[in-house]
Structure formats: C-alpha cells, structure tokens
Amino acid sequence: MNTRPQIATTDRSQALSATFNQDYSCFSVGLDSGFCVYNSDPCELHISRNLNAGIGIAAMLNRANYLAIVGGGRSPKFPQNRVNIWDDIKQKPVITLEFRSEIHAVRLSRSRIVVVLLGSVHIYAFSSPPSRLHVFETYDNPLGLVALSAKTLVFPGRLPGHLQIFDLVTGNVNIIPAHSTPLAAVTISPQGDIVATASETGTLIRVFSASTGLPITELRRGIDKATIFSLAISPSSSRLAVTSDKSTLHIFELPSSSLISQPVPRPSSSLSSHSTSATPSGDNKRWSLLGKLPLLPKYFSSEWSAAQAKFEGGGRGDLGWIGEDTLIAIGTGGKTGEARWEKFVVVEGEGGVGIECIREGWRRYLDND
C-alpha cells in the first residue's frame, strides 16, 4: 500500500538545477541564493551555502569537498561562461576555467573536468592549473546532455540524434546514429557497460552497448510525444527508469547480461535499424509477440514498461538508483515551483507476476512549511 508520507522540510528557495553525485548517495542543488547538498536517503540537508546570488549549476565530485559551480538565475554569482571548482573546506573557488560562451553542464571525476557548451564538449585534466586534453564538436546541446562513468564519456554527436561514446582510457570514439531527431536525454550505467538515449520525440528509448555501440533493445515509453526529463540505469544494468512531462515514472526490465554482451548486429540500411531489439528470453512476457508479424505498426515490436508510478517532481531534475530495487527522483519544480524528492521501490507484483513500482515517500525539499 502506498501511503506516500511527506517527510519534514526546509527553507523555500528557487531550484535552478538538481544533480546526483556519482554513486547517488547525495544530490546538489543550484539555487537563486547559492547552493546546497542533500543526502539522498533519508533526504536530509547536508550543507547549505548562501552566496547571496544565483548558482545555475552545482556538480559534485563523489562525497569530496569539491564541487563545480557556475553562475545562474536572475542574479548570477559568477559569469555563466566560467566554471569554478569550489573547495568547500576553504569556502572559495580554487580552480577556474573560462570560455567564450555559456556553460550548459559540468561533470567531475577524480582525474577529469568535463565542460559542456552549446556546440562542444571540453575535457580537462583535474589539476592545478588544469590542462585541456580534448575538444569535441557536437550538435546544438542546450540541455547540456552528458554522462560520465569511470572510463567512458557520452554526449551528442555532430548530427541531430547521433551519440558519441568516448573511451577515456584508449581515446577511441564510437559514433551511434541513435535517433532521427535531436537527443533529449542520455545516460550510462554505473558499470559503464550500456548507454541509453531518448530523442525530442520522447516515445522511444534505445539502449546500446558502450563498448561496441551495437543496439541492445528498444523501449517504448508511449505513443504520444513527450519531453523526457531523465533516464537512469540500475546498479546491475537490469532496469531502466524514465521520467517525462507526462508525470509518470516508467520502469523497464533490461535484457540479461548475456544478451548485453552479445548485442544484436546492426543492419546497414538506416536509422530504423535501431528498432531491432535483442531476442528476449522465453519468460520475458513484456516483449510483444505481435512484433514478429508483418505489416503491423512499429510500436508492437518495442518493449513496454514493466511498471509505472505517478511522478510529481516537476521540472527536469535527475533520477538515481540507490539500490537495485530503490529509486530516488528529484525535480526542480518546473512551472509548479515545488522542488520535490520522491522515493520509489520496485516490488514483486500481485501473485508473484511481474513487478510494481510504489512511491514510498516524498517531500518538498526546499520548503519549511
């Protein structure tokens, strides 16, 4: 039973961004007055920094004292073309990188600083001073789409709907024609083995092998166009979660590891080749058998979600799996202005059939009402 209790709350402010750290144990929030960091579960304020001006981007480095911050909001604290590596022990920036245009996203690892501009991605060594290692051109990327694992970086390609997978160890780049329309969301699994993408159309999510770039499966969120807010893959790469402006959280079951290691060969014809899905195991009943019949609409051949739940976070926010069966969704509020933290659990379905997704708790994490 979903009683959906509200958890106690804190000061009201305006959330400009909300992003998980690398292991989803914390999330950082850019505010019109500074930034703050929360523990993911339970949702508790960890640190709050009032800078008397806006921070549009706040990206953490694990649970370390370093964050990448960029000015934003109505009264930005810093120029929006400058990344500041903030040392929270010293309470000041210790590294700065300045660019010729606005910064749309930043990601940190122990060895890299990744900066996303509208039409390019810049990779620096995390050193003082930082040295630039690589620059990649991209299609226009106003959402700052990027995903980083220990050894792999993914971001849009130079053509609409294309994805670049960059191996940080070997320097190899794999370009995937994932969709025919511009990308709206990308993610990489915690293990770095698979990537998932959605386009501006918002009806299909496609999953690929990070090592080969070959398609693994195609997932259908719905038939109507939607704005995808966030994608997230579970720790064992067995599930994928999706939120959109339809106010629904979808949970998909992904193919087994044996299918991931042997993805479906890609036909050489066109983008439609990515609609091919890995052959499901016999007990995977969500795969439509109608898809094997000729002349039926394409959506019959896609896998539909195994479970759904109401999502009220609003705005883009972020998704994070804190366990194989537990998911946290954070929203920035969007038009509603209610920046919400929501906890979902995946449980066995009634009678042991399938799965269900239940919202276990929620809170307006910026309120004190």
| Three state DSSP letters for 170-213 | CCCEEEEECCCCCEEEEEECCCCCEEEEEECCCCEEEEEECCCC
**According to the model, what pLDDT value does residue 317 have?**
85
Residue 222 contacts residue 246 (beta carbons within 8 Å): yes
What fold is seen in the domain 8-137? Methylamine Dehydrogenase; Chain H (2.130.10)
**Whether 130 contacts 116, CB under 8 Å:** no
Which residue has 């792999």 as its token pair?
152
Q: How confident is the model at residue 277 (pLDDT cuts 50, 70, 90)?
A: very low
Under 8 Å between Cβ of 14 and 31 = yes
203: CB partners within 8 A, 6+ apart:
220, 221, 222, 223, 224, 225, 226, 299
| pLDDT score, position 287 | 41
Rounded mean pLDDT, 220-244: 95
Q: Could you report the per-residue pLDDT of 77-107, keeping only the tens digit for each?
A: 999 999 999 999 999 999 999 999 999 999 9
User: Would you say how long the chain is, in residues?
Assistant: 369
Report the C-alpha gap between 121 and 154 in whole angstroms.
10
Confidence label for 14 from pLDDT (cuts 50, 70 and 90): confident
pLDDT greater than 70 at residue 257: no
Domain borders along the chain are 8-137
When the pLDDT of each residue in the chain is averaged and rounded to a whole number, the result is 86
| 187-207 pLDDT per residue, tens | 999 999 999 999 999 999 999
Radius of gyration of the chain (CA): 20
> Nearest-5° angle of CA 96, CA 99, CA 102?
110
Beta bridge partners of residue 362, listed in sequence order? 6, 342
Q: Of 243, 256, 251, nearest to 345 (Cα)?
A: 251
Burial class (CB in 10 A: 0-12, 13-18, 19+), 207: buried
pLDDT for position 262: 52
Q: Quick one: pLDDT band at residue 256, thresholds 50, 70, 90?
A: confident
pLDDT of 40:
97
Q: What is the pLDDT of residue 279?
A: 35
Higher pLDDT, residue 289 or 196 = 196
- The pair of structure tokens assigned to 312 is 């009220």
Average pLDDT over residues 25-30: 97
Amino acid 56: pLDDT: 97
Each residue of 129-183: pLDDT tens digit?
Answer: 999 999 999 999 999 999 999 999 999 999 999 999 999 999 999 999 999 999 9
Instruction: Give Cα 290 to chain centroid, integer Å.
Output: 31
Q: How far apart are CA 355 and CA 217, in angstroms?
A: 20
Structure-token match 């009264």, residue found: 75
* pTM to 2 decimal places: 0.86
Give the mean model confidence (pLDDT) for residues 343-363.
93
Query: What average pLDDT does the segment 250-269 reach?
Result: 63
Q: Is 87 helix (H, G, I), strand (E, B) or coil?
A: strand
pLDDT at 218: 96
What's the pLDDT at 301? 59
User: Can you give the pLDDT at residue 337?
Assistant: 65
Per-residue pLDDT at 336? 59
Q: Flag whether pLDDT at 276 surpasses 90.
A: no
Q: How far is CA 202 from CA 83, 151, 216, in A?
A: 31, 28, 18
Which pLDDT belongs to residue 278? 36
Distance, CA of 103 to CA of 321 (rounded, Å): 27
